[in-house]
Structure 1
């Protein structure tokens, strides 16, 4: 069997665009968006330029598939056969349903804001953070560094207030030293005008000194990235044994066994929960010798916004 890279899953089963390099494999409830080229037997090391080009191509293909329905993006370099697609969907159906409910109508934007460090002292000389320093006879480098750091924190807070006011969630991404903000925000598609207003308000803080970059709309991969892993027959048997279950399995029996195991051995809670996930997926598949179990990862812990922050 040939394996193909899984780009994403979507509940849409029709109206997906024809895109060079992609193919669609329809399951009962979801469609798998996959690479058209099979996995290579041997892959040679790639340069940084090649990796960046491949990542940009992948992102462009995903964005072109957004309109028919929400995309549940898969981590890069996960390969699966056509024959295993439906089994993956069935094993992880409750998780996929929750992600569809969470992501329907939502898009992701990445907002990057840098400032002109060389002009900071000129622009903000009269700010509350710096004006007292310039009244002193002597200013040490440490005093100046503290003042600029305080100013930076205030500007970052102002920027984040504008963004969090329109978004459901915000995630901080790795930032360069000259960046005040490098964040991904999740918002409703209909809120694009509000995003434009927020960017205009941020730009007005220092039009000539801020460099603002906006990427999107894009699938919400920073907030929910599917991470499948193969669970073999030995792991399945160990999970069933840990829970004290017998085949054939049912999800109701798995739930009861999970509750009992957590009550009797709370010190093994994490392992018990993982075993229950494996057993429940096995019950959905009905006598599979192996399965693909999915976790969901995010690039960072989502920050609470609006009233949640105030509370």
Structure 2
């Protein structure tokens, strides 16, 4: 049985773009975007340059698939057979549907703003953060660093204000020392012209001192990245035993067992919920021999709250 890398899932099942190196597996409600090449039984370790090159190629391929809206991106290096994919989709259908609804018509952009640190004092000498230092002649490395830090915070706040007018889903990313701002924003495709205008407004703050990069549009992988994990037979058996369930399963029976177990063993509430999640996924997947349960990762974990079923 051959395994292929899963790039993404989409509820679109027709009129999908052709992309070199990728293939589609059409199921009843979803299509899987997969590598054409099967996973090698053995492979030599890759150099850092090879890893970066492969990541760039993968990103370019996914961007060519963006017509398949919404596009739910899978983490890199997850391999699965075509025979097991329908079970994965069925088992995780509620989560996939919530992700699809959230991401439909949305794209992400990365915005970075570097500033000319050598020219900061000349440009902002009369700013609220710095003017007092020079008037009182209290410039020391410590006071200058503190005041520059306050200036940085104000400028970042101005940038965030411009972007937050478009979307409340902005995730800060780590910034290099000479980088003032680094973030990704999730917005509707129709808002792209508004983003261009917002970036122009940011540039107006300090046209000669800011170096702005606007990277996108891209699939919203920073906001939701599918992470499928196999559930082994031992964990499945333990879950069914904890809930006092027998195969075959159906979701209503699992829901009833969940409620009863939560009442009877309240001190194990978290484990009961996990067992019920596994059992419900099995019921949706048709009680097949392989079970994959998907989690979702993101740059900002708080963004995932509404994607999970409330207990």
Interval containing the TM-score (normalised by the shorter chain): over 0.9
Do 1:229 and 1:294's aligned partners in 2 also have CA atoms closer than 8 Å? yes
Q: Does 1:102 align with 2:102?
A: yes
Report the more deviating stretch, 61-70 or 268-277: 268-277
Compute the displacement of 1:82 (Å).
Answer: 0.9
* Paired residues, number: 304
Do 1:171 and 1:301's aligned partners in 2 also have CA atoms closer than 8 Å? no
Q: Does 1:89 align with 2:89?
A: yes
CA distance in 1, matches of 2:153, 2:137: 26
CA distance in 1, matches of 2:127, 2:167: 29
Do 1:88 and 1:292's aligned partners in 2 also have CA atoms closer than 8 Å? yes
* SS at structure 1 position matched to 2:6: strand
Indicate how the Cα distance of structure 1 residues 296 and 132 shifts in structure 2: closer, same or farther if over 3 A, else same: same
- TM-score w.r.t. the length of structure 1 is 0.94
Compute the displacement of 1:267 (Å).
Answer: 3.3
Compute the displacement of 1:274 (Å).
Answer: 1.4
Q: Does 1:202 align with 2:202?
A: yes
| Residue equivalent to 1:135 | 135
Do 1:11 and 1:29's aligned partners in 2 also have CA atoms closer than 8 Å? yes
* SS at structure 2 position matched to 1:132: helix
- TM-score w.r.t. the length of structure 2 is 0.94
Unmatched 5+ stretches in structure 1: 304-311
CA distance in 2, matches of 1:260, 1:216: 49
| Residue equivalent to 1:22 | 22
Indicate how the Cα distance of structure 1 residues 85 and 176 shifts in structure 2: closer, same or farther if over 3 A, else same: same
Q: 1:178-225: CA deviations, max 9, x gaps?
A: 222111111111001110111000000011111111111111101110
* SS at structure 2 position matched to 1:77: coil
Indicate how the Cα distance of structure 1 residues 138 and 98 shifts in structure 2: closer, same or farther if over 3 A, else same: closer
| Residue equivalent to 1:306 | none
Map 1:269-284 → 2, pairs under 5 A: 269-284=269-284
Indicate how the Cα distance of structure 1 residues 182 and 137 shifts in structure 2: closer, same or farther if over 3 A, else same: closer
Compute the displacement of 1:293 (Å).
Answer: 0.7
| Residue equivalent to 2:243 | 243
Do 2:87 and 2:286's aligned partners in 1 also have CA atoms closer than 8 Å? no
| Residue equivalent to 1:307 | none
| Residue equivalent to 2:256 | 256
Map 1:153-168 → 2, pairs under 5 A: 153-168=153-168
Do 2:114 and 2:180's aligned partners in 1 also have CA atoms closer than 8 Å? yes
Compute the displacement of 1:302 (Å).
Answer: 4.8
Compute the displacement of 1:300 (Å).
Answer: 2.0
Over the aligned positions, Cα root-mean-square deviation in angstroms equals: 1.5
Compute the displacement of 1:286 (Å).
Answer: 2.3
CA distance in 2, matches of 1:259, 1:178: 54
